[in-house]
Amino acid sequence: MAGGRRLERTSGRGAEKAAQNRAADGRVAHLAGTAAEASVARHYERRCRSVVHRRWRGAAGEIDLIACDGDGFVFVEVKCARSLEAAALRLGRRQMDRIIAAACEFLGTQPGGMLASMRFDLALVDGRGEVRIIENAFGEA
């Protein structure tokens, strides 16, 4: 007993079940994120912006979507949650900095390099599938 309460250990079966539940939750989250990204990609394509990369990965990190906007690029971070407000709260400064670094890495592979115009959008998707785009969400990057 510790502090007057009895300590209980998780049995092997309980721990195994908890691990299975976490894995299932991870699969659901992954599928929800993939569906949200596909929905956002369709949103951009309906607005005559071609999505040139999905889940582009470089040494600095991953960018959910990269779309062409004329001669420039739009780097899109997709966040989904039960509500649009909750989705918006899932983007922090450290993640923005990582996305900016990855975008610079991506631009280094392009003919125009860092001279290409760019912006960073935040795409929010709620539990009903509603999409809201916040253009230039990172402000002055």
Q: Which of 32, 133, 33 is nearest to 74 (CA)?
A: 133
pLDDT band, very low/low/confident/very high, at 102 (cuts 50, 70, 90): very high
Alpha helices, DSSP H only, in the chain? 12-46, 84-88, 93-107
Tens digit of pLDDT for each residue in 47-91? 888 999 999 999 999 999 999 988 899 999 999 999 999 999 999
- Hey, what are 113's tokens? 């390099």
Domains in the chain, CATH or no CATH each: 12-134 (3.40.1350.10)
Least confident of 11-15, 30-34, 68-72, 100-104: 11-15
What's residue 19's pLDDT? 61
- The pTM of the full predicted model, rounded to 2 decimals, is 0.79
